[in-house]
A and B are shown apart, each in its own frame.
Chain A
Amino acid sequence: ETGVTQSPTHLIKTRGQQVTLRCSSQSGHNTVSWYQQALGQGPQFIFQYYREEENGRGNFPPRFSGLQFPNYSSELNVNALELDDSALYLCASSPGQEYNEQFFGPGTRLTVL
């Protein structure tokens, strides 16, 4: 186990709704990244937070937003859910943004109906 925890484990929403996913980073890690993993595909980078600031974003629309808190835990918010948002959402933490190794949590499985 990496020490990165995510909640909830599973979530079912309907199209158009909003969702908030949560991540607690490993102790001492100040950098959190979020990834979307569609079924049968590799994770896709959504964005990264370093010391409460977003400092990198992948090819995702603005309805994907996030926060990082002073204790370095993080939230991913998705508005106006679409069917294609159904995926495993992974959080990864590292001791710093220049640090190579990232430690992934178990993910949150989101299903949009």
Chain B
Amino acid sequence: QQQVKQSPQSLIVQKGGISIINCAYENTAFDYFPWYQQFPGKGPALLIAIRPDVSEKKEGRFTISFNKSAKQFSLHIMDSQPGDSATYFCAAREETSGSRLTFGEGTQLTVNP
């Protein structure tokens, strides 16, 4: 059962453009929503995270927008750079489940120079 659905599966953006990746969840008990970045041959690395009491969080070029009523959240990468080319995963955690994360299917981002 897929509890976190992510789209698109792949995304191609020109350098300097905005990359937008969307996720939707079903479990209303989720209380922590991180985004991970993964390069080939590496483990996922935490990029930015948000809790549901906040509608937006920005760190540098990365912004999470969160819509609790719609059960959706998205990652915006401003001024996308070729070095941002990687696979991005959204995830969610339920407070009572310890550290367990439920991941989306991933989005392969390519930023063309």
Query: Which residues does A use to contact B, with CB under 8 Å?
Result: 2, 4, 31, 33, 35, 40-45, 48, 50, 55-56, 58, 90, 92, 94, 97-107
B99 touches A48 (CB 8 A): yes
User: How many pairs, one residue from A and one from B, have CB atoms within 8 Å of each other in the complex?
Assistant: 69
B98 touches A56 (CB 8 A): yes
B4 → chain A closest CB, angstroms: 8
In the bound complex, residues from chain A placing their C-beta under 8 Å from that of B89 are 42-43
The CB with the most chain B CB atoms within 10 A, among A4, A50, A104, is that of A104
B44 touches A45 (CB 8 A): no
The CB with the most chain B CB atoms within 10 A, among A40, A45, A100, is that of A100
Query: Which residues does B use to contact A, with CB under 8 Å?
Result: 4, 6, 32, 34, 36, 41-46, 49, 89, 91, 93, 95, 97-106
Measured CB to CB, the nearest residue on chain A to B31 is: A100
B49 touches A2 (CB 8 A): no
A102 touches B106 (CB 8 A): no
B62 → chain A closest CB, angstroms: 15
Do A45 and B100 contact each other (CB < 8 Å), given the known contacts A40-B106, A100-B93? Answer: yes
Measured CB to CB, the nearest residue on chain B to A31 is: B99
A45 touches B105 (CB 8 A): no
A sample of 25 inter-chain contacts (CB < 8 A) reads: A2-B43, A2-B45, A33-B99, A42-B4, A42-B89, A42-B91, A42-B103, A43-B89, A43-B103, A45-B100, A45-B102, A50-B98, A56-B98, A56-B100, A58-B100, A92-B43, A92-B99, A97-B98, A98-B95, A100-B32, A100-B93, A102-B99, A104-B36, A105-B43, A106-B41
